[in-house]
Structure 1
Amino acid sequence: MSTEKIVVGYDRSPQARKAAAWALDEATRTGAVVEFFHAYEWPHWAPAVSMVPPVAVLPAEQIRRDMDNSLRDAVASAARTHPGVTTTTSVADAGAALTLIDRSRHAQLIVLGNHGYSAVAGLLGSVSVAVSAHAYCPVVIVRGDAARQGPVVASIDDSPSSHAVLGFAFEKAATGGTPLVVIRAWPPTAGVRDDPLFAEGKVPIGIRHPFDELIRGWHAKYPQVDVTAQAVLEHPAATLTEASTTGRLLVIGTHGRGVLRGLLLGSVSQHLLRHASCPVAVVRETAR
């Protein structure tokens, strides 16, 4: 049995069920164990009874019983749909984000729904943002069309996280038997389009040469992968959002800058986690 583990943040929401389905498909390809994890996060405040009428609160025992039943249902459903995948469950009386980050030390992947645990429907959950920014392993946020049969799409720049992104993307393309598209986008800054070297919006060979060499080096490690390298003059957020409409998985790095480095995702990463049309894998430069 594989010692690799995929941890799924599970809260019974439709987004969590989509995340679980994606994780089970991934485990079928890799042989990993899938762990359905739930954190019981209780409110840290309550209204003063003397000031407002008391609010009926569901007993903790009932909440736990219902969640335990949901986890058992998730395992039973996985046994029917993915009989070859080993599944487990776990719960914790702690914050979901911090617990998932800690569990990521010993996981192959953390898989989350696009706004599970969020108090506001339609917004990316704070847990997803925090775990994506701090996890010790790649984090997949399942959103959009999780069942699309397209290429793996990876985005790199000149940051140290590019090697981690490429390693993850090539591996997923190889295990999934799918093509890989690697995109390097140069934002068109003021005056760039007036430079004759950038005529017709093309990146000159001399500028894109290091990018092409990097892809050739990685392709030599995964010769079975059909890879396409695209160098474009466009804002990365726009290019990658469009690429996600035909991709099956979008792989990005994150390297927040400034005094909040490590606390926040970069602006492009946050945009894609909210607007991509397919699941997004976030690979930190410090990930294993």
Structure 2
Amino acid sequence: MSEPSDHRPIVVGVDSDPTRPAALARAADEAARRRAPLCPVRAEGTPTRGYRGSEVPPSWEGWNEELHRSGKQLLAQAVDFVAARHPEVELDAVLAEGDPVWVLGEESRSAAAVVLGPQHLSRAQEVFGSASVALPLMARAHCPVVIVPETEQVTQEPAFFVVGVDGSENSVAAVDLAFEDRTRRGGGPPDRRGGAAP
């Protein structure tokens, strides 16, 4: 039986590396399962790429034009990927200027979930670094945030759900969400350890 339609979109952050489509594939599959729209988002922040001492620094307009060009190209590739995988999924791609945490946080206000791929940061970079997106986004998002590992990082098939709980209202909601997701994916009853079966 198909899942009833939820008009709230699944938002997915578009990675700068199109060869790592795990998050986009998971988001597209979830949108198809829920019969929900998919919103690929590419947030372009302040340019940080360096230049050699002998080169003349480009103007801000030049940087901005290049960011928009590459952002549009990445979004076009994402749209093509989803259209090939799930042609029935409604797509609404967004290219935005600003910090990715802020942009995705704003998109989360009307989303069913925000999906991100791994950033491959060290623990110190994830907690303290300015490049971190996942942790600060989880702190400000208005909907569930899903971090999808790359395929080679998944060692158990079928994969299972792990939920961290601390007794708070938020952790109870996390457990509820995990059971809903497991049920949506056709999972069986909880196993003997009390966790969700695959």
Shift of 1:44: 7.8
Which of 144, 156, 173 pairs up with 2:182? 173
> 2:158 is matched with which residue?
149
Q: How does 1:39-54 map to 2 (within 5 A)?
A: 39-43=43-47, 53-54=54-55
Asked if the contact 1:15–1:142 (Cα under 8 Å) also holds between the matched residues in 2, the reply is: no
Show structure 1 runs of 4+ deviating over 6 A.
Answer: 44-47
TM-score normalised according to structure 2 size: 0.76
Q: Which runs of 5+ in 1 are unaligned?
A: 180-225, 232-242, 249-288
Provide structure 2 residue ranges, at least 5 long, that are not aligned to the other structure: none
Determine the C-alpha separation between the residues in 2 that align with 1:39 and 1:106.
Answer: 17
* 1:95 aligns with one of 99, 108, 115: 99
8 Å contact kept, 2:22–2:117: yes
Q: Tell me how far 1:15 sits from its aligned partner.
A: 7.7
CA contact (8 A) 1:10 1:16 kept: no
Partner of 2:82: 78
Q: Give the structure with the higher percent strand.
A: 1
| Displacement of 1:147 | 9.4
1:228 corresponds in structure 2 to 191
CA contact (8 A) 1:8 1:110 kept: yes
Residue 76 of structure 1 deviates from its aligned partner by 1.4
Residues 197-239 of structure 1 deviation map (CA, whole Å, 9 limit, x = unaligned): xxxxxxxxxxxxxxxxxxxxxxxxxxxxx112527xxxxxxxx
Superposed, 1:7-46 pairs within 5 Å as 7-13=11-17, 17-43=21-47
Q: Over the residues paired in the alignment, what is the CA RMSD in angstroms?
A: 3.3
Q: For 2:116, what is the secondary structure of its paired residue?
A: strand
* Larger Rg, first or second structure (1 or 2): 1
Taking the aligned partners of 1:46 and 1:80, their CA distance within structure 2 comes to 36
